[in-house]
Amino acid sequence: MKKLFSVLGVYLLIFATPSVAQHKKGTELVIDKIAAKYRELSTNAEFVKVNGTPVAQHTRFIQPEDAVVEDYSNLRQIALIRHGEPDLEKNGKFSYDEARKFLINYDSVGIIRPDKPFLTVQKPEEVSIFCSSINRAKATANYLFGNDSVITVSPEFREFETTLGKFSPKMRMPIKVWTAAARVKWILGIDRDGIESFSEAKARAHNAAKRLADATEENSKAVLVAHGFLNRYIKEDLEKMGWRVVRDGGNGYFGTTILVKLDENKKDDKEHIALNAGQ
């Protein structure tokens, strides 16, 4: 009997492995087609502008009419959008007290709105929209989707917290220098001044990624309007869950990264139902 199971094991290994490999290759080819379609959309897309200056390129989700996926119901998509530029003066050099005040204002102001939205959602009822509770993200979501859209706002999607700490040099520096130094100290666990730790923030990003992935089980598309650092770690966690980046919008204002996943379980379920129906 043991010998029989060994023979069966070898048989399955020989004949099943090519099938699995072919299936994986087929999925990769579809993902490549989707990525190519997003590149095509970017090539031909116009820019939205602020006072005549281009600030973001128009984009949208892949739709059935794009004909890049055999069964569109198997496709799940997530868009991670960074907020727009805060309506706040940030040029020049800041003292420690001025930099602390800047960070407080940074979390409370709105954004500089472009002439029109850069993201088109054809059927909003098929999209789950999430947003950070920080004002610059809420202002961005309002600019993109309007007041009538159903938007889930949660502090879970807030940016990784920043504090200048209690001990800082007595000098004037650009705000980017202040915030970069604060971020490095925070990552190293130095002078946290009561805010969450780096490990706690990464755990929050992981939970947020899972929440977005779970949302696509109900609606096949999800959008998160949030922040640069948070979105970066959400993207990494989604990739670990099997999602693939098909559009990398970078980390700038309005940067929009889109990830996709082909849900082969749905396809298998349909084939199983069809097989049973034929019996």
Residue with tokens 């000098």: 171
Sorting pLDDT into bands at 50, 70 and 90, what band is 273? very low
pLDDT for 54 equals 96
More confident residue, 113 or 25: 113
Map residue 148 onto helix, strand or coil. coil
Is the pLDDT assigned to residue 192 strictly greater than 90? no
pLDDT digits (tens, 9 = 90+) for 135-155: 999 999 999 999 889 999 999
CA separation for the pair 259, 268 (Å, rounded): 22
Does the structure show a pLDDT above 90 at 12?
Answer: no
Q: What does pTM read for this prediction?
A: 0.87
Burial class (CB in 10 A: 0-12, 13-18, 19+), 228: middle
The token duo for 123 is 């059927």
- pLDDT category of residue 275 using cuts at 50, 70 and 90: very low
**pLDDT of 125 strictly over 80:** yes
pLDDT-derived band at 276, boundaries 50, 70, 90: very low
pLDDT of 15 reads 47
> What's the confidence (pLDDT) of residue 266?
55
Mean pLDDT of 203-229: 98
CA distances from 95 to 98, 100, 156 (A): 5, 9, 31
Bridging pattern class, strands 244-247 and 256-262: antiparallel
Query: Does the pLDDT at position 270 exceed 50?
Result: no
Task: Write the pLDDT tens digit of every residue in 156-176.
Answer: 999 999 889 887 788 999 999
Task: Give the model's pLDDT for residue 122.
Answer: 83
pLDDT at 184: 93
Res. 32 pLDDT band, cuts 50 70 90 = very high
For residues 221 and 275, what is the distance between their CA atoms, to the nearest angstrom?
29
pLDDT-derived band at 191 (thresholds 50, 70, 90) equals: confident
* Domains of the chain listed by start with CATH number: 2-277 (3.40.50)
